[in-house]
Amino acid sequence: MIARLDGCLAEKAPGSVLIDVGGVGYQAMIPLSTFYRLPDEGSRVTVHVVTNLRENALELFAFDDKDERDLFNLLRSISGIGPRLGLAILSGIEPKEFRAVVLDGDSDRLTTIPGVGRKTAERIVVELKDKLEKQAPRSPARDSGNEDAICALVTLGYKRSVASSAVREVAKQHPAGVAGLIKGSLARLAGA
């Protein structure tokens, strides 16, 4: 199994790369996020690889960091999500935002990614939420003050994903106590 490639970036295009390692060219599929972070052709590059063996082909999927590769593997563990859809998801959302979206249960955000329908988005949230909560330390966006503000908005009748998004935005602009977060979020939601 190929797990990493370190060599000369012979060719790059949105969706794929060709890396020359000791005179052997390895072609791998990549998400757009990796494409944008790659150096110029002819430069030395190291990518983390997932090898996928199919009936008639050996496919390589490359990522410029381990975090993205690990998320790709998590996505592939979900029934109905193959490697190509996994790449599409990582092309449509950064790993940090993906984690926040799943932890907040915001399946609506996932449906904005081409190829991800309502059922797939809900399945991603249900199957990955616990795994991601165990992996990640508590982030400022999920501290108890923010969580209290979100719960208050949900009690007032707002969807959790909508409430969470509003609280995150208010917390970025004006870090405040729970009352300030609720007040700012209500004003934001009223103006939306």
The amino acid sitting at 14 is P
Distance CA(135)–CA(26), nearest Å, equals 32
Quick one: pLDDT at residue 160?
78
Q: In 141-155, which positions are buried (b, 16+ CB within 10 angstroms) versus exposed (e)? A: bbeebbebbbebbee
Three-state DSSP at 64 gives: coil
Quick one: pLDDT at residue 142?
46
In this predicted model, what pLDDT tens digit does every residue of 95-143 receive, in sequence order?
A: 888 988 898 888 889 999 999 999 999 999 999 988 888 775 544 444 5
Quick one: pLDDT at residue 189?
85
**Is there a common fold for 4-63 and 140-191?**
no
The amino acid sitting at 91 is S
Assigned CATH topology for domain 66-135: DNA polymerase; domain 1 (1.10.150)
Whether 131 and 98 have beta carbons less than 8 Å apart is answered as no
Assigned CATH topology for domain 140-191: Helicase, Ruva Protein; domain 3 (1.10.8)
**Which of 192, 185, 107, 109 has the alpha carbon at shortest distance from 146?**
185
pTM of the model: 0.68
Quick one: pLDDT at residue 35?
93
Distance CA(181)–CA(166), nearest Å, equals 9
DSSP label of 139 = P
Q: Domains of the chain: which residue ranges?
A: 4-63, 66-135, 140-191
pLDDT < 50 regions, the chain: 138-142
Quick one: pLDDT at residue 106?
86
Please state whether beta strands 4-13 and 24-29 pair in parallel, antiparallel, or not at all (unpaired). Answer: unpaired
- For the structural domain made of 4-63, what CATH number should be given? 2.40.50.140
Quick one: pLDDT at residue 139?
46
